[in-house]
Amino acid sequence: MPRPMTITEKILAAHAGLDEVVPGQLVECDLDLVLANDVTAPIAIKEFAKVGTERVLYREKIALVPDHYTPNKDIKSAEQAKMMREFAKAQGITHYYEIGCMGVEHALLPEQGVVGAGDVIIGADSHTCTYGALGAFATGVGSTDAAVGMATGRAWFKVPESLRFDLTGTLRPGVSAKDVILHIIGMIGVDGALYQAMEFTGETIASLGMAGRMTICNMAIEAGGKSGIIAVDDVTREYMEGRTERPWHEFFSDPDATWAKVYEIDAGAIVPTVAFPHLPSNTRPVTEARDVKIDQVVIGSCTNGRYEDMAEAAAVLKGHTVHPDVRLIVIPATQQVYRDMMHTGLTDIFLDAGAAVSTPTCGPCLGGHMGILAAGERAVATTNRNFVGRMGDPTSEVYLTGPAVAAATAVLGRIGLPDDL
C-alpha cells in the first residue's frame, strides 16, 4: 500500500508514474501545460533553439499569452511580442492569445478551460500557482525550464513538503479572500512557506467562490510557497463543468498524511487588511492606515481582476466620485470580464466615478505601463507585490488591499474602508 500522501504528493506521483513519493525526492513528471508570456517567452524561445529539436513536443500543451507590456508600450516590448507571435505561428501553438482576445494569463487560462484539476502546470511566471485553486499542482519556473518543457513535455521537481492552513468560522462583512491571504502572509512571513506546498482547507475556504480561491492561491508565492492548492469540491466542479477542455482528475489528501506544519486560523478574527511597503507581509488592519494619503489606485491584476472583484469595487464606488487628488485605474483581467462589466453596468459606474478603464493588461502591476508612479507617489493596488520600485520610481510606495478598500480609498483620497464614505 502507498504511504499516506497529500494532494500535491499524489499529483506528482501520478505524473511521474510512481505509486508514491516523499518530500525531498526528485521526480520527472509529465506536464499538462507549459505557460509563458511576452516577458518570459522570448527568453524561453531563445533557449528552445539550443535544446536540439526544431518542434515543440505537444503544441496543444503550451500557452503563450502577451499580457505584461501589451498593448505594446514601446519598440522593445513590440519586438518581444513579435518574437512570441512568430514562434506561436511557426509551431502551431494551440493556445496563443492575440491582443483583442487575450487577458491577464492567470485569469484567462482558467476562464478558457485550459487548466483543470489534477494537472501539473509550469509557467514562466511566478503567479502560475493561481491554478492550484482548481486542485492542480501549478508552479512558476525559469524560462530555461519552460523551454525544456516545451521540447520534452516533462520537468524535474523536488517533491515539496506540505503545509495545511485550516480556516474555520465565517468571514466578517467586508472581509474578502484578499484579506485572508494577506493575513496569512503577515502571520508566517514572505519566507514562511519556502519551497512548500500550501494547502488551504476548512469551512471558510469551502464558502468561497472560485474567484476568491484563485486570489488566495495566486499569492502563495508571496509567502515563498512552491504552490498553493485547494481540494476539488462542488464549487470547483461547477466551475469546470462544460468549461475545462480535458478530463480532470480529483486528488485529496489522506487524513493521516504528513504535514510539515498545520495552521489553525479563526477566519472570524480576520479584518480588512493592508500590506504596507515594501513587503506583502508588512500587514496592518486598514483602520490603522487611515492617515495615509494616496495618489493612485489600481483595481485589477491576476490577483483581483475578475468580474467578482470588479463588482465588489463598483458596489463601493456607485454614487461616488474619485477624489480630485487620486487617479483611479480599473483593469479587467480578461476580455470576457470587460464585456460582462459593460453588459451589467459596472463600466458606467467606474466611468461615472471618474475612473480610467483599460483593456486587459498586467501593466502597472510590474511597473510596465498604464500607471507608472513618479518619485514619492503612493498607490493602493489590488495587485500582489509592493517591493521597492515595483510600480515605478524607487521612492514610490505601493499598498496592497482588496477591491472594496481600494475603491473606498479612491474616493477618500486616503486609505479607508467603505464604511468611511
Identify whether residues 242 and 280 lie together within a single domain.
no
pLDDT at position 280:
94
Identify whether residues 158 and 56 lie together within a single domain.
yes
Q: Which of 94-103, 316-325, 398-407 has the lowest mean pLDDT?
A: 94-103
pLDDT (mean) for 32-44: 95
pLDDT at position 175:
96
Q: What are phi and psi of 139, to 5 degrees?
A: -150, 155
Identify whether residues 242 and 308 lie together within a single domain.
no
Count structural domains, the chain.
2
Identify whether residues 325 and 370 lie together within a single domain.
yes
pLDDT in tens, 132-181: 999 999 999 999 999 999 999 999 999 999 999 999 999 999 999 999 99
Identify whether residues 69 and 209 lie together within a single domain.
yes
pLDDT at position 413:
97
pLDDT at position 70:
87
pLDDT at position 51:
87
pLDDT in tens, 196-247: 999 999 999 999 999 999 999 999 999 999 999 999 999 999 999 999 999 9
Identify whether residues 152 and 31 lie together within a single domain.
yes
Residue 327 pLDDT > 80: yes
In a domain, residue 1? The reply is no
Residue 297 pLDDT > 90: yes
pLDDT at position 182:
97
Contact between 138 and 115 (Cβ < 8 Å): yes
- Total count of residues recorded for the chain: 421
> What is the overall mean pLDDT for the chain?
96
In a domain, residue 183? The reply is yes
**Percent of all residues in the chain with a pLDDT value above 90, rounded to a whole number:** 94
d(CA 12, CA 161): 12
Identify whether residues 322 and 177 lie together within a single domain.
no
Residue 17 pLDDT > 90: yes
Q: What is the largest CA-CA distance in the chain?
A: 66
Domain hosting residue 337, numbered range: 275-420
Residue 400 pLDDT > 80: yes
Specify the pairing of strand 26-30 against strand 154-158.
Answer: antiparallel
In a domain, residue 269? The reply is no
pLDDT at position 145:
94
- Strand, helix or coil for residue 338: helix
In a domain, residue 179? The reply is yes
In a domain, residue 310? The reply is yes
- Strand, helix or coil for residue 120: strand
Identify whether residues 47 and 113 lie together within a single domain.
yes
In a domain, residue 365? The reply is yes
Residue 28 pLDDT > 80: yes
**CATH number where 401 lies:** 3.30.499.10
In a domain, residue 172? The reply is yes
Identify whether residues 245 and 164 lie together within a single domain.
yes
Identify whether residues 203 and 317 lie together within a single domain.
no
Identify whether residues 156 and 301 lie together within a single domain.
no
CA distances from 88 to 63, 78, 112, 153, 184 (A): 9, 15, 18, 16, 39
In the listed set 240, 264, 288, which residue is the last one of a domain according to the structure?
A: 264
Residue 1 pLDDT > 90: no
pLDDT in tens, 244-270: 999 999 999 999 999 999 999 999 999
pLDDT (mean) for 272-280: 96
C-alpha dihedral sign at 335, 205, 263, 399 = positive
In the listed set 212, 235, 264, which residue is the last one of a domain according to the structure?
A: 264
Residue 184 pLDDT > 80: yes
CA distances from 292 to 41, 382, 408 (A): 38, 16, 13
**Concatenated DSSP letters of 306-319:** SHHHHHHHHHHHTT
More confident residue, 2 or 122: 122
d(CA 34, CA 123): 6
pLDDT at position 347:
98
In the listed set 234, 264, 294, which residue is the last one of a domain according to the structure?
A: 264
In a domain, residue 2? The reply is no
pLDDT (mean) for 273-293: 95
d(CA 18, CA 38): 35
Based on the number of CB atoms within 10 Å of its own CB, is 161 exposed (0-12), middle (13-18) or buried (19 or more)?
Answer: buried
Residue 187 pLDDT > 80: yes
Identify whether residues 155 and 218 lie together within a single domain.
yes
